[in-house]
Amino acid sequence: MFENFVLETVVTGRGPIRLRHGGSGPTLLLLHGHPRSHMTWGQVADLLSADFRVVCPDLPGFGRSYKPVDEPNSRFSSKREKGLALVELMERLGHHTFFVAGHDRGSLVAFRMAMDHPAAVRKLIIIDGLPVIEHLERTDWQFARDWYHWFFFAQPDKPERAILADPVAWYSTLRPDLMGREAYDELVSLIHDPDVVHGMIEDYRAGLRIDHHHDREDRAAGRKVRCPMLCLWSLDDDLAQIYGDPVQIWKRWAEQVEGNGIKSGHHIAEENPVALAAALAAFCRRS
């Protein structure tokens, strides 16, 4: 994976960010979800690199990127702060405008980048995600049952202790046959690192402490994503089963939305990279 990509760490004003980048053409930034690192994108990045300059960072708080400083409201782990760091990263790489696609927790950062930095984001692709406030306001018994980790991870101390007691058991669905051995071995190493686990959990705490306030403020002010947006979701996961058609929800937040499901489980970049890469390329190529 990541054939002819460069692995490096770029120092931003908020801290160092590890990334791989390669390929040629218009720039596409890919943001991973929980508990992954940039390595989850390896197969997709190779498929896209002939037509796009692909940038795959570890999100702040994840992987080998910087871990935000703790605050009672988790503001440095907010998606707004992470978006700022990633816009700076792209500028340091010489990319002042770019497409951005985010999966899972990365979708929240991608959404915030498009909202806060409309001059930088040319198109937005959301994969298996909704604004935090939509999740919280639509919470019912099914969400609480199946996505209970949102609320467990919001608690102090206990999530880290539970995960670090047996990280491989906690993340029991990791599959080296899908991820690739290199990505699997690195992820096993990462989930045994207390700093990484804490950084990932703070991302969830920020969602319930501060991110939803940013969403609510935008909604009250009537702000929407102005660039074209594509919404994708995994057909064998439960986002659409819990909430209905994600496109209809995203129309409340973006001026131009289209979307469809893709046959896959939740970790779509690993489970169906060909279909995902094709969907990203088709949407970004379209004028």
Active site residues: 104, 266
> Are the C-beta atoms of residues 81 and 210 closer than 8 Å to each other?
no
Q: HSE of 270 in the Cβ direction (CA atoms, 13 Å)?
A: 23
Q: Which residue, 272, 253, 40, 31, is CA-closest to 130?
A: 253
Total residue count of the chain as it appears in this document? 287
d(CA 181, CA 174): 11
d(CA 181, CA 184): 5
d(CA 65, CA 86): 11
Q: Which residue, 183, 210, 176, is CA-closest to 82?
A: 210
The backbone torsions φ and ψ at residue 51, rounded to the nearest 5 degrees and listed phi first, read -120, -10
Residue type, position 245, single letter: D
Vertex 177 angle, CA 58 and 125, to 5°: 40
Q: Within 10 A of 47 (CB to CB), how many other CB atoms are there?
A: 18
Q: At what angle do helices 158-165 and 194-206 cross, to 10 degrees?
A: 140
The backbone torsions φ and ψ at residue 262, rounded to the nearest 5 degrees and listed phi first, read -125, 135
> Are the C-beta atoms of residues 202 and 60 closer than 8 Å to each other?
no
